[in-house]
Amino acid sequence: MSDFVKAWDELATIVHKDNVTKGFWPDGLARNRGEIIALIHSELSEALEAERDGNPPDPKVPTYGAVEVELGDAVIRIMDYAKAFNLDVGSAILAKLEYNRSRPHKHGRKF
């Protein structure tokens, strides 16, 4: 297992345990997968709005810009989802990076 995959998995475990503790997985019941993906998407939408607003300091974590925090929120939600449903996203990221290296410029697209 690569260092990246190990670190990803360790952090995802912490994220998921924290979310269970905070009540996002009541009684260990599985949540609606589509809803979780929609919430990931909402974090990306918030990052877009922050970008459109010039990336001001985040109101909750003001030492970082709002774009950074919202992208972080998206990754946190992805990690939680992956750990809850036993998905090996860390390894999939590495595999996808390797595959993308073999693709043509702009992956053969104009834009």
What's the whole-model pTM score? 0.92
Integer-rounded Cα radius of gyration of the chain: 16
Closest listed residue to residue 83, CA positions, set 27, 30, 4, 23: 30
**Which pLDDT tens digit goes with each residue over 41-70?**
999 999 999 999 999 999 999 999 999 999
Q: State the Cα–Cα distance between residues 20 and 42, nearest whole angstrom.
A: 21
Q: State the Cα–Cα distance between residues 34 and 85, nearest whole angstrom.
A: 13
Residue 93 has what pLDDT? 98
Residue 13 has what pLDDT? 98
List, for the chain, all residue ranges whose pLDDT scores fall below the cut of 70: none
Residue 86 has what pLDDT? 96
* Chain position carrying tokens 């998905």: 87
Query: Taking the domains of the chain in order of start, what are their residue ranges?
Result: 3-108
8 Å CB contact between 84 and 31: yes
